[in-house]
Chains A and B, each alone.
Chain A
Amino acid sequence: MSILQHRTALIDFIARETGSKVIELEIEGKLGGGAIQENWSLSLVLEGGPHAGKLALVLRTDAATGIAESRSRVQEFALIKAAHDAGMTVPEPLWLDESGTVIGKPFTILRRLSGVAEPRLVLGRLSDLAESGEVEEPGEVLVRHLGQELARLHQVTPAQAPAGLGFLSTAGHDLIRQRVADYRRWLDRLPEAQPVLEWALNWIEDRAPEVERVTLCHRDFRLGNIMIEDSELRGILDFEFAGWSDPDEDLGWFCARCWRFGAYDKEAGGLGSKASLFSGYAEVSGRQPDPRRVRYWEIVAALRWALIALDQGERCLAGGERKIELALTALRAIECEYDLLLEIDDYDAPPKPPRHKHAEGTQGGEN
């Protein structure tokens, strides 16, 4: 059922939440993206109260079917608020209906950001800016900024957690062991056995590094969830997977090959170098990320994305959403399996001798 049928109830809800008079509410339509949620663009004019004036907003609610790992809208609202309070650039969280009585299901309303999130559009624009010389190394600048953003989020620790995050599962030094157990249960729920993912999980379990710190993590920090206008960051979106974790998980997820959108030589999210990302991160956190630990988490990322992709496929094949894009997403798991087999080999290989000077300056060669 569309929210268009609930316009009057929405106006009453906003008036109650703000103590303002709603002069105008326009439901402008459903926004693209968000396979797990529906996002609706709203334009609102309020008279009186703290938000008086014209507001560009997004109403976020659940899609017809979700996936196992995703959080509720209520929980997501608390997570965005925690990130906002920590100084991360996110859409300001405004109002929440957890009762489900206004539009038939819980929803949140956030301030709408300008810019685009679609990865190909972002990469295309950055490439145009770089070619024109309008902005020097726009990808590197952006990646450094993104490193700073992650470091701000990672300042939130369980010891100083806002009260609203009490629903988050605790995580400690056995975090990876717990994660491996979760992923095995996830595999058991899938209709077909996955030998490569089982093999990779054994490796992840055997090579698990010590978890030295646990912080609030986004856990889906990548292009597609980042609003960018030209080369400027406008905000980080989609906190539905956020939780306590090893902060290197966010860095690994961002750098994983599956999230480079074809720009494989730009290891930090298809945008720039790991050096810029790590340098931005260290500026705010005071901690220089360990590249080998990040690589370990890149491997975990490939496994996790494979599981999510297979789950997305099941939404079409066994759930209620008959969409060809969901069925094709399941096939992305094969790319991850291939990555896992090669990345694990690379990780386990002895360190390579340094290159000779005359070999430097070439790109795309065998490493």
Chain B
Amino acid sequence: MLDRPDDATLLALALETLQERLLPHLKGEDKLTGLLIARALAIVQSDGSDDHARQQSIAEIARLLDAAPEKSLADAKRHLAAAIRNRRFAAGTPEAVRLRDHLLHDTAARLRLVNLKYMAARQRRAESSV
């Protein structure tokens, strides 16, 4: 583990260097590849090691399943997915509403990390409903 510079600082510097010194000079396919790398680094930078959000999500899933919290988010999601498939959340019940709220909250949080622009466009709801 590094303290000075720490992981976050090194990552931020790598991203800045790519964006300011390399990307302006790239063209065509290379530019596209450079942008993809910048995007990947930016996603890692936003995500960080947000253990608090992960623990919150585990706790929320435990409440939905009325069970003890799982050790990992992957395990919690696996149990939640199985419960959904087994129709544990009957349509029209408060449990189904809480489930939908959780799914929307969790998805919005992940989308904010990877593509905030998409979310903003989605919320404008430019398209009509038939």
Contact = CB atoms under 8 A, between A and B. Distances in A.
Interface stretch (B2-10, B19-27, B34-42, B48-56): B34-42
B130 A291 contact: yes
Interface string B95-130: 000011001101110110011001101101111111
Interface of chain A: mostly helix, strand, loop or mixed: helix
A292 B107 contact: no
Given A324-B40, A327-B40, A338 B121 contact: no
B71 interface: no
Contacts of A202: 84-85, 87
A106 B2 CA distance: 52
Contacts of B118: 335, 338
A296 B114 CA distance: 27
Interface residues on B, range: 35 or more
Contacts of B82: 193
B11 interface: no
A355 to B, nearest CB: 10
Contacts of B104: 341
A331 B74 CA distance: 16
B91 interface: yes
Interface string A175-208: 0000000001001000011111011011000100
Contacts of A366: 125
B85 A352 contact: no
A267 B103 contact: no
A187 B127 CA distance: 30
A341 B77 contact: no
A274 interface: yes
Which residue, of A193, A265, A295, has the highest number of chain B Cβ atoms within 10 A? Answer: A193
Interface string A317-336: 00000001101100100110
Interface string A212-231: 00000000000000000000
A192 B107 contact: no
Given A262-B121, A331-B115, A338 B108 contact: yes
B126 A363 contact: yes
B33 A195 contact: no
B122 A339 contact: yes
B43 interface: yes
Contacts of B40: 324, 327-328
Contact of B119 (A193, A199, A324, A338): A338
A199 B33 CA distance: 35
B14 interface: no
Given A331-B114, A338-B107, A338-B111, A194 B81 contact: yes
B80 interface: yes
A195 B127 contact: no
B74 A341 contact: no
B127 A334 contact: no
Which residue, of A192, A199, A257, has the highest number of chain B Cβ atoms within 10 A? Answer: A199
30 contacts: A192-B77, A193-B80, A194-B77, A195-B77, A196-B103, A196-B106, A196-B107, A198-B84, A199-B99, A201-B85, A202-B87, A260-B127, A264-B126, A265-B127, A291-B130, A292-B130, A294-B130, A295-B129, A295-B130, A324-B36, A328-B40, A331-B115, A337-B103, A337-B107, A337-B111, A338-B107, A339-B122, A364-B124, A366-B125, A367-B127
Interface of B: 33, 36-37, 39-40, 43, 74, 77-78, 80-82, 84-85, 87, 91, 99-100, 103-104, 106-108, 110-111, 114-115, 118-119, 121-122, 124-130
